[in-house]
Amino acid sequence: MLATLLALCALLVACGGEDEAAETAREGGGGEAVRVALVTDIGGLDDKSFNFLANQGLKRAREELGVEGRVLISRSPQDYVPNLSSAAQQGYDLVIAVGFLMSESVATVAPRFPDVDFAIVDFPQSGLKGKPKNVRGLLFKEQEAGYLAGYLAGLSVEDGATVSSVGGQKIPPVDHYIAGYQAGAKAANPSVKTLNGYSQDFVDQAKCKEVALTQISRGSKVVFQVAGGCGLGALDAAKQRDVWGIGVDADQSNLGEHILTSALKKVDVAVFEAIESVQGGTFQGGADSVFDVKSGGVGLGKISATVPQDVADEVEDVERQIADGEIANIPDAVK
């Protein structure tokens, strides 16, 4: 036993030498690249939702713009302030906070580092305490994507049928989606009934599955998940009971043929554009960027191949109308 331990230790030390050599080789690069730090909220990078997408945006910026990027994962609320401030202290040019949970921490940290640009996903700059001038909010009109998804759902079911939604928590970004979804379904077919429930969770798939199964047993023919990783359970329930499922945030059509479409919120695009603006010197704090159908920041993902072409065309037409402002005042609060 002892001999094995010693042998393994020797092995470990041997590897150490190689690693150091590799590092000195790597240090040759560098230059004046923009440095970007991305701070996730407690959902982590595998949430299949905005943390994941934000990281995709950062990855794209690394490849296409040549920026230097680093991801800081928050595992508990205790990580928020140290993550944000250590990034700012280490001279990152742009620090991106993902999610409203970090709003207070951004409001605390940003004023201490006036030379660093900050961006926060899903929270308006004007809502931050002290309204720091070096922060830009990245907001989305989720209700427009929800409206399109709801419209397609309304066209895909018979008269008088029920469509439903499973939210993670009752928070603004989630309710935007759901309100739009319900309005869209009613607009496509006024006889459609809607159901809505919250799982109170963004991670545990079992909870969303339970909510979805209840809705399906109450007659729902389309289940729209608005609950990040938890919502995958809702889509699983749809598959099991042979009804339609609608994905959220990222395109989830790869989950199977039961996916009608996905309501997209292109956090990756928002993050990429924020990084691009810092690199180009046009980043402006003290205001918000709003991403909508018109700017291509929200929209629909791949529509199922079994949907008739004329239905798909009709939805596309609605999308154009939203972009042109012909369809406005889509509700963003769930009644």
Partner 1 sequence: MSEQEPERRELAEPDTPERAEHPTGGDYAPSVAARLALFQRAGGILTPLLTAVVAFFVGGLVVLVTTGKNPLRTYEAIFNGSGLNWLFPWVRGEERFLAGLNLQQTLLLTTALILTGLAVAFAFRCGLFNIGGQGQYLAGAIVAVWVGGALSGLPRVAHVVLAIVIGALAGAVLAGIAGLLKATVGAHEVITTIMLNWIVVWIGTYAFGLGGPLQNETLAVPISEDVAETAKLPVFWGDPLLQGLHVGLFVALAALVAFWIVLNRTTLGYEVRAVGFNPEAARYGGINVPRNYFLAMAISGLFAGLAGALDILGWQFRLSVSDVQVSALGFIGIAVALLGRNTAIGVGLSALLFGALLNGTSTRNLDPEVFPPELASNLTLIIQGLVVLFVGADVLVLYLWQLRRRLRGRSAVPPRAEAAT
What does the binding site for partner 1 look like in residue numbers (CB under 8 A)? 5, 8, 11-13, 15-16, 18-19, 23, 26, 41-42, 44-46, 70-73, 75-79, 81-83, 85-87, 100-101, 103-104, 108-109, 112, 123, 127, 169-172, 200-203
3-state secondary structure of 135: strand
Nearest to 54 by CA among 104, 134, 121: 121
**Minimal distance, residue 280 CB to partner 1, in Å:** 26
DSSP states along 209-261: HHHHHHHHHTTEEEEEEESTTTHHHHHHHHHHTT-EEEEEES--GGG-TTEEE
Closer by beta carbon to partner 1, 231 or else 299: 231
Specify whether the CB–CB gap between 152 and 135 falls below 8 A: no
Nearest to 67 by CA among 278, 263, 243: 278
Closer by beta carbon to partner 1, 78 or else 309: 78
Closer by beta carbon to partner 1, 60 or else 294: 60
3-state secondary structure of 58: helix
Specify whether the CB–CB gap between 182 and 194 falls below 8 A: yes
Closer by beta carbon to partner 1, 5 or else 328: 5
**Minimal distance, residue 20 CB to partner 1, in Å:** 8
**Minimal distance, residue 83 CB to partner 1, in Å:** 5
Closer by beta carbon to partner 1, 18 or else 115: 18
**Minimal distance, residue 282 CB to partner 1, in Å:** 28
> How far apart (Å, rounded) are the C-alpha atoms in residues 97 and 100?
9
**Minimal distance, residue 225 CB to partner 1, in Å:** 18
**Minimal distance, residue 322 CB to partner 1, in Å:** 23
**Minimal distance, residue 90 CB to partner 1, in Å:** 9
138 φ/ψ angles, rounded to the nearest 5 degrees? -110, 105
> How far apart (Å, rounded) are the C-alpha atoms in residues 290 and 282?
16
Closer by beta carbon to partner 1, 137 or else 301: 137
| Sequence-ordered alpha helix ranges (H) in the chain | 2-26, 50-65, 80-89, 103-109, 142-156, 172-188, 205-217, 231-240, 267-279, 309-324
Closer by beta carbon to partner 1, 33 or else 73: 73
> How far apart (Å, rounded) are the C-alpha atoms in residues 72 and 90?
13
Nearest to 194 by CA among 222, 163, 226: 163
